[in-house]
A and B are shown apart, each in its own frame.
Chain A
Amino acid sequence: MKKFIWYFTLIILALFMLVPMLWTITTALSHDTSTVKIQLLPNNPGLENFINAWNYPSQIEKGITMGRFFFNSLVTCFFITVLSILTDSMAGYILARKKFRYRESIFFLSIATMMIPFYVTSIPMFLIVREFGWINKFYGLIVPFIGSGFGVYMFRQAFLAIPIQIEEAAKLDGLSDLGIYLRVMLPLIRPTIATMIIFKAMWSWNIFYWPLLVTNSMDMYTLPLGLTLFKGLNVTRWGLLTAGLTIAVVPIIALFLIMQRQFISGLTAGAVKE
C-alpha cells in the first residue's frame, strides 16, 4: 500500500516535471498546429517547424538565423569558462600554497565577492562597459566574468586537499612554480576542473540579464536573448514557437542525459561535498 502511494506521488510529480517539455517537443514535431492539443505523439510528424523556427529571426533582421545566436552563446560560454577556470585556479593555487603577508585578507576578498549580489553592481558595471566601448561586443559579454570568488574558493579547497609532499618532490626535480602549477597540480585536481567546467558553462550559457543590458543589436544576441523574439509571436503559431524552444533546450537536455554525474556535481557545486 505504501509503495503504491509512493509510486502514485512520484508519477504525478514526474508528469508535472516532464509534460511541459514533452508537449513542447511533440507540438514542434506536429504538422497541424493551429490549435493546441494535449497529445502524446505528434500528428503528421515533420521537421518543417524546425526549419521555419531556425530561419524566423531573418524575418525581423535580414541574414540572421538561430545559428547566429548559437554561435554568440558558444563563443561567450567558451571564453568565460576557459578563462575563468584559468584565473581562478591560479589564484586558488597561490592562496592554498604560498605564505605571504595579507594572505588571509586577500582570500577574504574573494569570499566577499560572493556576498555581493550581481544586480546591485549591475548599473556601474554597465556604465564601465559602456565607457570601454564594449556595448554589442564580445568583450562586454565575456570580460566581466573571467574571474569569480566562488571559483577561487573551490580551487583553493581542491589544492589544499593535495599532499604537500608531491609538490616538494616536484621542486626537487627542478620544476618552477609555474611548472608545478601547470604540470603537477592542475592534473591532480581534474575532478574539480570538470565540476567547474559544467558550473561555469551552464551559468554562462543561460545568463540573461547581462546580455540584455549590453547587447541591443540582433547579430550580438545570445541564445536566451534570441529566444525572447519568439515570445512576442502570435500564439496561433504554436509549431514555430515550440520548435524554436525545442532547438534551444533539447541539446542541453541531451548532454545532461549523457553526462548526468558531471552535470549534477557541477550544478550542485559548493552545496554538496564531493
Chain B
Amino acid sequence: MLSINQDIFEIIQAKFSSSEVVRCIHLNVSLFTELSNEEYRILALVTKKSNSALFLFFCKKPNPIHLSDLFIETVIPIDENFECFSDTILGEDKYLLFIVKYRNFILEFRIKTGLESSNFASEIIKCKERSLYENCDHRWLFKYSDVKSPLDCTENKSQSPDIPFVRQNMAQNQNAINRESMLKYQLKLKEPEFTQYQEFTIFTGTWNVNGQLPSISLKPWLSCDTEPPDLYAVGFQEIDLSKEAFLFNDTPREAEWEKMVLEGVHPNAKYRTVALTRLVGIQLIVLINIKHYQHIKNVAVDTVGTGLLGKMGNKGGVAVRLDLHNTSLCFVNSHLAAHVEEFERRNQDYKDINARINFRRHPTAIKDHDQIYWLGDLNYRITELTTSQVKTLLLRNEMATLLKADQLNQQKERGNVLLDYNELDITFPPTYKYDLNSDTFDTSEKARPPAWTDRILYRGKGIYQQKYRSHMELRISDHKPVSALFKSEISVINQAKYRKVHEELLKRMDKLENEFLPQVTVDQTEIKFDLVRFREPQFRDIIIANTGQVPAEFEFIKKLDEQSYCKEWLRITPYCGTVNPGEKCDIRLEVNLETDLVELDDILVLHLNGGKDMFIIVTGKGQRSSFTTSMRALCRMSKPIMTLDDEQYRKIIALDGEVLYSVPRELWLLVDHLYTHGLTVKDLFESNSTQDSFIRLRDWLDFGSTEPISVSVETVAETLLIFLSYTKEPVIPSNLQNVAIAASSNYHNCKNIINEKLPDIHRNVFLYICMFLQELLRHSSENGYDAKTLASLFGEILLRDPIRNSKPQASRGKSNFIYNFLVNDLSTSIIPIK
C-alpha cells in the first residue's frame, strides 16, 4: 500500500512545478453529496514558499498511473478565510465527514478514519496557522484556475479571490490535447517521409549465475564477436541467493556484476550504462556504444515480482525501455517459476509480467514497443523424456526430437506464452543443469534432465537474428550463459526532412485553424439609402451567409468612444445572433430621420465572435423639411421649403434675409385649419392617423399646393404636435426650461420669462399656440378638453427635453407653466404679436 501511495504522490508532484511542493496527499476521497462510487478523487496539500493550497483532483482510475489520469478540479487557497473541520457520519464509524470551507464555498468529503486522514488534517492545520503570520500571495494559483490570461488575474488580485477557483476549462484543454495527438498521429503517418532505417547490432545475453561470485571474465561471452555491437542488454538471474537480498532487495552483487559486464564488453568500442535494474537476483543492464548515447531518450525501468505470494521478487521480471532514435525498444529479463511440472505457472508469470510492467515514468506497456527482446531463465524443461534419453539424443545430435519435447516450444505453439515472439533454431546443447566448474550435466542424485531453460526471443519488425549460442567456457554456475546477436533496423530521423514535414503539418494545422475560424460573407457592405425624408422610415435588408465550417456568432459592436453600435437614425434588427454553417440570416437596417441631418453616414462593425470584423458603410441623403428647420428660418421663407433653390435655402438657413412672418407659415396653416375645422371635434389630439396621411400633409406643407388639405382634421392635429415636437429648438429653449419650471407657480414670473427672455419668434409661436388652446377651451363642452389636460399635453411638447428618448422630467412643472397661459387673459398682459 505504501508503495502505491508513493507512486501516486510522485505523479501528483509531477503535476506541479518544482517550486510547488506536494506536502501530503489523501487518496480515496469522495464528495459527500455524491452517491456514486464510480468517481475517484484525491486531495493534495501543496505549498509554494510560505503559501499553501488544497487541490482536489479528479481521477479517471482508482489508482492513477499517469499524469493524464488526473485533473485539477478545485483549488482552495489556505489563508485566513480557510476553515476545515471534521464530523461524524451517522451510522458509520469507518468514515468521517471532512468539511472544507472558504468563505461561502463549502466542500464536504467522505474519508476513511485512520492515520492517513489524521496526518492529513494536521498538516492542513499547520499550513492554516502559518498563513496567519505570513502575507498570503495566491497569484501562483491563478494558473490553475480557469482564468485564461494573466491579464484577467490582475483584476482578480485586486478583489482577492471570492471563491476558490473551480476549473471549468477542461473541455478546452481537452481540445488542445486532441490537437496535440492529432499532430502526433499525422507525424506517425508521415514517418516514412522523414526517417530511414539504419542497422544496429544488438547483443543480448542471459545467464543464471546460481548465486556465484563474479569471479571470472565475461569476455568469452560478451566479446565473442569480431565487431563490437551497438547495444548490449545483459540479464542475470540469481545474482544473490541470500536471505538479505530476498528480504531487503539489496545486494552488493549488483555493482559487482555491472563492473564485470563493463569489463567484459567488446574492447573495440566504448560503452556507457543506459539503465540498470534489478529485482532481488534478477538484474538487467543495458549499455550503449557511446557514439549513440545522445540518440537515446525516454529511458524507463520497471520490475515485477511473481514469486512467493505472487509478488515477491525471487521470481519475476525486470524491464528497460528506451527510444533509440525513432524506434522504441524494450528489454525484458525474466526468471519464471521453477520445476518441470510448473509450466502453467511459468505461463502465468509471463502474463503477469506483461500486465504489470508499465514504466511509470514513461507510461507504456511492454507490447507497445516497436521491438521487444525477451530474455531470461524461462525455466521451461524437456518433458516426456528421461535424463538418459535426453543425453542419448544429444549425443546423436537429434535436436529436432529434443526441441519437440521442449515445453516452451510446446506452450508457445499452443499460444499460451510469448505469442508472436520469434526464436532462432537452437543449435547449442541444453544450458542446464551442469555440475559446477564443468561441462558435465548434473551428476547429483537428482540427475535432472538437461533443459534449455535460458532463452532469448524477440518480437517486432526489422529484427534479424544473426546468432544464437551458449558459452560453455563460463563454468562457475550450473547454467551456461546464452547470447543472441541481432541486426535490427532502427528508424533514424533525418532532422532536415523531419523539420520540413513537421513545419508543413503545423502549417496545415494553422490553416485548418484558420479555416475553422468563423467565416461569413455579407451580400453588400455599402448600403445607400435614397433620399431620406422626415419620419418616413426606409429599410434595406442585408444577408449574412455563413460560408465557414463553424457556427458564426455575430454582433454589431460599438466603435471606440461611441455610445451605441449605430447612429440614432438607424436601427438594426437583429443586432446579434448565430448563423450555422451554410445558413443565412437577414438583417434589417432601418433609417428613420427626425433631424435636419443632410449627410447620413455610419460605419457598422459586424463582429464575429472569435473571428474577423467586417465594416458596413451606411450612407444616405436627408431631405430638407420644414419640420426640422429652425422656426427663425421658417419665418424667413416666402414659399414652401422644397420650392426654394439651393442658394435661397442656404441663405435662409444662415438666417440671411428678412423676417417675413411672425410665426412659421406651416404652423399658421395647421393652426388655422384646426381653428376652422377642429374646435368642436372630440378628442382632437388623440387619434392615430396613418403614416400615409401624415406624409401627404408633410408634403403638402413642404412642397406647397393649391389644393386644400385633404387629410382628416385629427391628422392635422397630430401633425401639429409632431411639428412642435421636432422644431430644431424647443419652443421654450432648453436653457430656459428650468427657470420656467421654477416659476410655474407664479403667473407674473412666467409672463416675465415669456416677455423678456424668449426670442421673438419663439414668443410669437408660444403665444399663438396658447391663444389657440384658449380658443379650444372655449369649446370644451364639445371637444371634451380641459385646461389641465391641454397644459400637460403641450407642456411636454413646448418644453420638450433636449435629448430625445431621455426620461421626461418634472412634467408637473411643465404643465403648470403652460396652465398659467391657458387660464389667464393674454390679450391685455402680453406684448402683442408683431
Partners in one complex: no
Q: Tell me the B residues contacting A by CB distance below 8 Å.
A: none
Q: Tell me the A residues contacting B by CB distance below 8 Å.
A: none
